[in-house]
Homo-oligomer: A and B are copies of this chain.
Amino acid sequence: PREVRAPRGSTMQCRGWEQEAALRMLMNNLDPDVAERPDDLVVYGGTGRAARSWEAFDAIVRTLRTMANDETLLVQSGKPVAVFRTHEDAPRVLIANGNLVGRWANWDEFRRLERAGLTMYGQMTAGSWIYIGSQGIVQGTYETFGAVATRHFGGTLEGRLVVTAGLGGMGGAQPLAAAMHGAAILGVDVDASRIMKRIETRYCDRMTYSLDEALAWLGAAQAERRGLSVGLVGNAAEVLPELVRRGITPDVVTDQTSAHDMLVGYVPVGMSLAEAAVLRGSDPAGYIARSTASVVDHVRAMRTMQDRGAIAFDYGNNIRTVAFDAGIDDAFRIPGFVPEYVRPLFCEGKGPFRWVALSGDPADIARTDELVLELFPHDAQLRRWIELARERIAFQGLPARICWLGQGDRARFALALNDLVARGEVSAPIVIGRDHLDTGSVASPFRETEAMRDGSDAIADWAILNALLNVASGASWVSFHHGGGVGIGNSLHAGQVIVADGTDRMRRRLERVLTNDPGIGVARHADAGYDIAIATAAREHIRLPMLER
């Protein structure tokens, strides 16, 4: 077992900061404080890897250390395969991970090729060297609840009751994110140890086995318009119907149990975790029948709450489909969270903008937090996020920050970061990147491009154009992946990372990349007929040829 951590400080091992940044970010992805299973090169999300093998990792590092500032390294599914001379304004690294020809784009063929040592699963930010730990999940959830607040509650969840279930790996961000918006949130989980973990990391405030106690705490917080999160040990398929019976209708109801997997992800009513584990092994079909029956009760309660006035949405776990298939005809009256809350943000070019201090110095991120507040003084939701993140988010690996910024603001902020570096207000260059899940970079009909207005869910041209455009604009590294988020066969997506090193050259590249990368997302949504995107394009002077004349 090797321990890898990124070098810190303002001295380079490489011949340029772009190569150095790629090297540090690759290593940072494998930092034991960042990666889930660093020994296997697995960063997060199932088997999302940063490199195909340790041999490949070593060759990448070796190559980055010697590459000139006009050379480009090609990485094919986590393995370095060639270096070519390009030019100084071109990317230093080009990455393609896990891509397969359509007919072969399934898990069986992928796993066969993976076993043969020919490919790797890159997830989204694992194989593109820009994962920054769980901060990304918290912020994405914060953004979704923020969109709910803006749309339905005048911009805040203060005084509101949110009910959800599932405090696991992703779902565990819900209590923190909702409380950040001032909500009183009840998070139900059958597994006490999952709630305990959230309490320890301060993602959840309090825990109880009693619904009455939970409701009392939450009621008090609501009355004081104070953010509070309560983890209740219980089964959602019991607790939600009980709330319905008591006539308690939350303002918002959603769910992040692992309902996408009826055998492993969802515990039926009336059994302990241990009993569930036994039944799962002895009688899988019987298990699924019981868990499905529970989902039916669970979703029926959500629908009743919705009919009584609650804002309800499916949070990407497919619970609607399970219930629908089991006979709840109106399950799809509950909308999906992407079309409902995330797409309007995408239409403004908003997406998961993030940056990392290559110095390793938390003071550098503190300075950039200030910069956000200086630059965007009127964005209350952003201010609240930065203030709470400073206080609540522990750094993992190199210090980093994430927030969602839209068309225009991403470029403005990137240039300001570059100026900070130029003026020496931070001690080393800053790396700017994003998740592959972004406005113009992903084709994923089960999630990000579900139910597009024009029916273009499965069209993948945009993701490819996004990658090509980022290369043309001069990102430091550009990646194109298959299957991140929703699995092999189900998505294609691109990523970009660019280094703010304080130079004029990078200033020009930053302006282009941070304008064009979200800009193609605005164009994509304008093309699909979304008014907000058409308005954003007009305001931000994005030229759309079909709308000219």
A binding-site residues for B, Cβ under 8 Å: 55-56, 59-60, 62-63, 72-74, 76-77, 79-87, 89-91, 94, 96-106, 109, 113, 116, 118-119, 443-445, 454-456, 458-465, 467-469, 471-474, 478, 480, 482, 488-492, 508, 512, 515-516, 519-520, 523-524, 527, 542-546, 548-549
Q: A463's closest neighbor in chain B, by CB?
A: B99
Do B520 and A74 touch (CB < 8 A)?
Answer: yes
When the two chains form the complex, which single residue of B76, B102, B543 contacts A82, counting CB atoms closer than 8 Å? B543
Closest to A456 in B: B118
Assess the B99–A459 pair: CB atoms within 8 A: yes
CA distance A454 to B81 in the complex (A): 15
Contact B489 A468 (CB under 8 A): no
Tell me if A87 and B444 are in contact (CB < 8 A): no
B467, B515, B545: the one within 8 Å of A468 (CB):
B467
Contact A458 B489 (CB under 8 A): no
- Knowing A104-B458, A105-B103, A469-B72, say if A84 contacts B516 (CB, 8 Å): yes
- In the bound complex, residues from chain B placing their C-beta under 8 Å from that of A519 are 82, 84
Interchain residue pairs with CB less than 8 A apart (24)? A73-B545, A76-B461, A76-B527, A84-B516, A84-B543, A85-B515, A87-B89, A87-B472, A87-B474, A90-B474, A91-B468, A96-B462, A100-B458, A101-B444, A101-B460, A102-B105, A102-B489, A105-B105, A113-B455, A119-B459, A464-B480, A467-B467, A467-B468, A468-B478
The reply to whether B62 and A96 form a contact with Cβ atoms under 8 Å apart is no
With a cutoff of 8 Å between Cβ atoms, the chain B residues found around residue A549 in the complex are: 62
Q: Which of B101, B480, B545 contacts A443 (CB 8 A)?
A: B101
Decide if B86 touches A516 in the complex (CB within 8 Å). Answer: yes
Residues of B within 8 A of A461 (CB): 76-77, 96-99, 119
A73, B79: Cα distance in complex, Å: 32
A491 to B100, CA, bound (A): 9
Interface residue from B83, B99, B118, B465 paired with A74 (Cβ < 8 Å): B465
Q: Contact between A460 and B545 (Cβ–Cβ < 8 Å)?
A: no
Known contacts A91-B472, A101-B458, A102-B106; 14 further A-B pairs (Cβ under 8 A): A62-B548, A76-B465, A81-B465, A84-B543, A85-B516, A86-B474, A87-B474, A91-B468, A100-B459, A100-B460, A102-B489, A102-B492, A118-B455, A119-B459
Q: How many angstroms from the CA of A218 to the CA of B542 in the assembled complex? A: 65
Docked complex Cα distance between A122 and B60 (Å): 36
Distance, CA A85 to CA B546, complexed state (A): 18
Interface class of chain A by DSSP: mixed
Q: Which of B62, B456, B480 contacts A545 (CB 8 A)?
A: B62
Q: Are A101 and B492 in touch, CB under 8 angstroms?
A: yes
Q: How far is the CA of A118 from the CA of B60 in the complex (A)?
A: 40
- Contact A542:B82 (CB < 8 A) given known A101-B492, A113-B458, A468-B468: yes
Contacts of A118 in B (CB 8 A): 454-456, 459
* Nearest Cβ on chain B to A319's Cβ, whole angstroms: 21
Contacts of A454 in B (CB 8 A): 116, 118
Complex interface: chain B residues within 8 A of A86 (CB): 469, 472-474, 512, 516
Contacts A456-B113, A478-B468, A523-B81 given; does A76 touch B462 at CB 8 Å: yes
| A74 CB contacts on chain B under 8 angstroms | 465, 469, 520, 523
The residues of B that contact A458 with a CB separation of less than 8 Å are 100-101, 103-104, 109, 113
In the complex, which of the residues B55, B94, B443, B515 contacts A469, with contact meaning CB atoms closer than 8 Å? B94
Picked from B445, B464, B545, the residue with its CB within 8 Å of the CB of A99 is: B464
Q: In this complex, what residue of B is CB-closest to A84?
A: B516
| Cβ–Cβ < 8 Å partners of A548 in chain B | 59, 62-63
Q: Is the CB of B59 within 8 A of A545?
A: yes
In the complex, A523 Cα to B94 Cα: how many Å?
15
Q: In the bound complex, do residue B523 and residue A468 qualify as a contact, i.e. CB atoms below 8 Å apart?
A: no
Q: Which residues of B contact A60 (CB under 8 A)?
A: 545
Q: Nearest 6 pairs between A and B by C-beta?
A: A102-B105, A96-B461, A104-B458, A82-B523, A90-B472, A80-B545
Cβ of A15 to closest chain B Cβ, rounded Å: 15
A482, A492, A545: residue with the most chain B Cβ atoms closer than 10 Å: A545
CB proximity of A108 to chain B, nearest CB, Å: 11
Residues of B within 8 A of A443 (CB): 99, 101
Bound form: Cα–Cα A253–B462 in Å: 45
A94 and B468 form a contact (CB under 8 A) = yes
Least distance between A54 CB and chain B CB atoms (Å): 13
Q: Name A81's contact: one of B63, B73, B85, B544 (CB within 8 Å).
A: B544
- Interface-centre pick from A63, A455, A469 (highest chain B CB count, 10 A): A469
In the bound complex, how far is the Cα of B106 from the Cα of A83, in angstroms? Answer: 35
CB neighbours (8 Å) of A96 from chain B are: 460-462, 464-465, 468
Residues of chain B lying within 8 A (CB to CB) of residue A62: 545, 548-549
Most buried by B among A80, A456, A461, A543: A461
